[in-house]
Structure 1
């Protein structure tokens, strides 16, 4: 009974064996992740166009709900850069930033995203995310990283700029450069330089000074906090806000409030498609991270239950003043490296952030927006990976075209069109690859029962027998391709008496493909050429037997290609190709 309940409430699977050692490791991981998340949550809320407290709120209830329903032991839930950018893009089209309607729209977006993820999880449809190929995801994340970094330059420069595409952002920045605030620029550049150095050079420096590895890790992860403290103190002490340096200002000193998303039909209709796109992107990113970390400890996750966990987290965000969330790569890796044993580490992190919301928010009044922008820029530039272009160019030109198109469309037309194009390109790429399946003419390797491609091996063939190995399942997209191939070979082979379709790699034959096979069979029967099948898998044969195809087949079904060779082949010749 407990095991069955644990399928739907994974917390029951680990909570009953929770001990002192797990508690100690989870608490340490929570301390490190909390230190990292405080400035990061504030920064990502800024990126989403929301008040800074929304980032903290989105990191409390969602984490707790995921700890109950999620299956990953190390995944850290909360606002992430790409989803924050998508939120700003989607909500900015229905409400003006800074208005009450903007906040309600963000809540509604989280609600719709959570509901969509829950539906996918309840109907066990996690496999649908597989249609978004990894190269396309990598291209979209790279382009999004560039867009996010560019969008934050206005805070570094202290100017009013806008834009949803790279060109719009750059042109807007150029037109407002006369507003440049040199003090803001100094703060932003200094904070960014420090954060870049802290990410690469702080830990080795601390280790050289004799600090322990754990202490060096904690202090390195606290780098953004140090930047926040230093720049906030500087702004307060020197009264820089009076000289045009924009600051966070007053942040409510409270726990996440109870909030209500909007249910107006017009609002739901406008946000439905963006919510679906955010859900797909968030789920793919989250599951990729969770599977990678789980593999390191020989654990496993359930993608369908992950959908439910992420759905619950987003619905929790919708009713507690947040916005769409997912599993973040950077914070999850930090959580894992810090020693998190169970999802309880996330719950402890949520408690730490709740304390920060109650106690620490007055301290960020003088925090400059330039520092938060620097935090975002440093974080997202690690996502930019142009090596994917070189790798796909060398390995697969089709994947290279998909990656390039996704990057260019995202940068040139915006994130929503970019991610929608990425989904479409992924599906079209799959259809293109399967529409022209690899079909090899095979012959027997001399002295063996192995049959290989005549263009790659020295094999035995017979001019009266044509053996074709079909290396793809047959369905409506590629059925006509097989027809055309067989008919072209009929025209070339005057001595041909038998055609054998080797189905060892065919896992499915849909009705369109069945009709094509029937058409081939009738055509060959009229030409007095036998059509034979070999090595047909059981489920495929079961499906074929439910039709009249096997009864009408102008030939035989052979258990193996060797049996077909023995039965149909007379005089053999050697062919070297």
Structure 2
């Protein structure tokens, strides 16, 4: 039963579900549903799909995540960055507006879901840790700029294309003589209104005496108000016949049963983009889920989250959707609205199903400029150029990684950007681990403690060098230590003994063992003793299984102070004791 509850968290929280939780979940569901209707339509537009695909992608996936996910507040569905990645990936294999384009979107969701599911089943969630957070922040910032730029064509009422910032700006620039000024008026008005709602409406409503809950609901309904007002304006003034582009017919139906393509050519083309979408989606989702869970002292299982998100994407693939993940803004709204369990997501799905059945005719005259404004306002909150300043002041290597990710994403596109982000993250990891921190230490007077000679006033001996190795030794960094000792101990120097202080070394792999053997032979040829101190039990057990300790031309000391007493002259010992 425990194993079943692990894979079906609903069996865990469902046992304690009560009327109070139902009430809180329903209130949260109403707020999120109001927010999600225009968002779903907008993100489908961003992905290059019919507007109903956004609603379809927000029904079955939410229900499946509620069954398999572990977060009590995560709201799953279409998100801006994943929608942009979807458009970029399937735009290379099919033309927008064709049946092949929709099938490619289903296939992408299927591949993404399958990949996430496999990672979860084999408990490989730790792989996401290899993506550095500054690099991810840089990628999301660049994506936000690209998304906002891509929506300018809808605000201006022109036909433009391109997947990179230079392409988009050049395409929009070439179409400036075709701007529809009525569309511009609608787009700018909606954008300004939505920015005002986000920053000023809630405090204003509270000052009028409305309860915090009602103020929150009305604030989240801001996009709905923009949708209603602009739709009515287009209908009443017959603006669709004056060049204003509208959503048009949206089918009145529940999500259909769909099948992704099993074409080997299509799958091979979309496999890498699907993996990249999965990684970015999972990192964004798990970051939000863990942040919100920490506020309520709840626990998130990353491996089970992979299964939950995998099931959600498979659900999207078979119900007319496209890749989904946990969204930051709607998850925060869900949390703030009081959602206590994943059931809030299931109730949201029910609300969206009702909207799909009965409300879609009402959006016939909805201008695409309004949906574009919704996207622009949502994604500009993702843009955080301050990450450049922060990383510059803290780590030049991280700054270079963030700057490169942003630049490559803007200039070469999101797929190159996310791929470069993964590569740069791995490169940073390998770079840092290949250069372990090794400090030469000396004795702190009057104590038995040893500290870095460059940072502290410590006692040293010209005949003794003690190097504290602050990282495990393995194939990536073993040669670094070998070179360091070779440069430190040269022919004709006064050094008679070298001690490697292993207090921070948790593992020595075979490549590192060979380096230690090489160090031992070189020092032996120079007449210098090689010693170890403070070696941890598991490391010592492994060293004992080799011939290294038998061939060591020095000793293994229990403590560094013991090594100091045995390897320095009596004058230093007396001074150290003072």
TM normalised by structure 1 equals 0.98
Cα distance between partner residues in 2 of 1:247 and 1:358: 20
Cα distance between partner residues in 2 of 1:542 and 1:236: 80
Cα distance between partner residues in 2 of 1:239 and 1:508: 73
Deviation string 1:214-251 (CA, Å, 9 cap, x unpaired) is 10000000000000000000111111100110000000
How many angstroms does 1:508 deviate by? Answer: 2.1
- Tell me which residue corresponds to 2:286: 287
Cα distance between partner residues in 1 of 2:491 and 2:116: 54
Higher deviation after alignment, 330-339 or 549-558: 549-558
- Tell me which residue corresponds to 1:22: 21
- Tell me which residue corresponds to 2:32: 33
- Tell me which residue corresponds to 1:260: 259
- Tell me which residue corresponds to 2:215: 216
- Tell me which residue corresponds to 1:415: 414
Confirm whether residue 397 of structure 1 aligns to residue 380 of structure 2: no
- Tell me which residue corresponds to 2:536: 537
- Tell me which residue corresponds to 2:330: 331
Counterparts of 1:65-76 in structure 2, within 5 Å, are: 65-76=64-75
Higher deviation after alignment, 479-488 or 564-573: 564-573
- Tell me which residue corresponds to 1:462: 461
- Tell me which residue corresponds to 1:245: 244
- Tell me which residue corresponds to 2:130: 131
How many angstroms does 1:493 deviate by? Answer: 6.8
- Tell me which residue corresponds to 1:507: 506
SS at match of 1:458: coil
How many angstroms does 1:495 deviate by? Answer: 2.1
How many angstroms does 1:464 deviate by? Answer: 1.7
Confirm whether residue 45 of structure 1 aligns to residue 27 of structure 2: no
How many angstroms does 1:568 deviate by? Answer: 1.9
- Tell me which residue corresponds to 2:342: 343
- Tell me which residue corresponds to 2:12: 13
C-alpha change, 1:153 and 1:493, in structure 2 (3 Å) is farther
- Tell me which residue corresponds to 1:572: 572
How many angstroms does 1:125 deviate by? Answer: 0.7
- Tell me which residue corresponds to 1:111: 110
Counterparts of 1:411-490 in structure 2, within 5 Å, are: 411-490=410-489
Higher deviation after alignment, 305-314 or 565-574: 565-574
SS at match of 1:452: strand
In structure 2, the gaps of 5 or more residues are: none
How many angstroms does 1:494 deviate by? Answer: 2.0
How many angstroms does 1:539 deviate by? Answer: 2.2
Cα distance between partner residues in 2 of 1:508 and 1:220: 55
- Tell me which residue corresponds to 1:562: 561
Deviation string 1:380-417 (CA, Å, 9 cap, x unpaired) is 00000011000000000000000000000000000000
Cα distance between partner residues in 2 of 1:174 and 1:542: 69
In structure 1, the gaps of 5 or more residues are: none
Cα distance between partner residues in 1 of 2:422 and 2:383: 20
Cα distance between partner residues in 1 of 2:173 and 2:487: 61
Cα distance between partner residues in 2 of 1:546 and 1:115: 43
Does structure 1 conserve the Cα–Cα contact (< 8 Å) formed by 2:491 and 2:526?
no
Cα distance between partner residues in 2 of 1:420 and 1:567: 54
SS at match of 1:383: coil
SS at match of 1:59: coil
SS at match of 1:35: helix
How many angstroms does 1:528 deviate by? Answer: 2.5
Higher deviation after alignment, 207-216 or 37-46: 207-216
Deviation string 1:63-96 (CA, Å, 9 cap, x unpaired) is 1111111111100000000000000000000000
How many angstroms does 1:530 deviate by? Answer: 1.4
Cα distance between partner residues in 1 of 2:47 and 2:492: 65
Higher deviation after alignment, 84-93 or 553-562: 553-562
Cα distance between partner residues in 1 of 2:559 and 2:118: 44
- Tell me which residue corresponds to 1:122: 121
Question: How large is the Cα RMSD of the aligned pairs?
Answer: 1.2
- Tell me which residue corresponds to 2:167: 168
Does structure 1 conserve the Cα–Cα contact (< 8 Å) formed by 2:443 and 2:459?
yes
Cα distance between partner residues in 2 of 1:198 and 1:379: 12
Cα distance between partner residues in 2 of 1:543 and 1:155: 65
Confirm whether residue 377 of structure 1 aligns to residue 376 of structure 2: yes
- Equivalenced residues, count: 574
How many angstroms does 1:567 deviate by? Answer: 2.2
- Tell me which residue corresponds to 2:199: 200
How many angstroms does 1:300 deviate by? Answer: 1.0
Cα distance between partner residues in 1 of 2:298 and 2:491: 55
Cα distance between partner residues in 1 of 2:3 and 2:110: 28
Cα distance between partner residues in 2 of 1:493 and 1:66: 69
- Tell me which residue corresponds to 1:80: 79
Does structure 1 conserve the Cα–Cα contact (< 8 Å) formed by 2:531 and 2:556?
yes
Cα distance between partner residues in 2 of 1:78 and 1:186: 30
Cα distance between partner residues in 1 of 2:225 and 2:488: 72
How many angstroms does 1:526 deviate by? Answer: 2.1
Cα distance between partner residues in 2 of 1:121 and 1:538: 33
Cα distance between partner residues in 1 of 2:300 and 2:264: 36
Cα distance between partner residues in 2 of 1:536 and 1:335: 51
Cα distance between partner residues in 1 of 2:106 and 2:279: 18
C-alpha change, 1:493 and 1:329, in structure 2 (3 Å) is farther
Cα distance between partner residues in 1 of 2:553 and 2:347: 70
Deviation string 1:463-503 (CA, Å, 9 cap, x unpaired) is 22110001122122211111111111111772212111111
C-alpha change, 1:216 and 1:493, in structure 2 (3 Å) is farther
Does structure 1 conserve the Cα–Cα contact (< 8 Å) formed by 2:40 and 2:58?
yes
Cα distance between partner residues in 2 of 1:353 and 1:191: 23
How many angstroms does 1:13 deviate by? Answer: 1.0
Cα distance between partner residues in 1 of 2:156 and 2:308: 40
How many angstroms does 1:435 deviate by? Answer: 1.6
Confirm whether residue 57 of structure 1 aligns to residue 63 of structure 2: no
Deviation string 1:253-275 (CA, Å, 9 cap, x unpaired) is 00001000001010000000000
Cα distance between partner residues in 2 of 1:541 and 1:92: 57
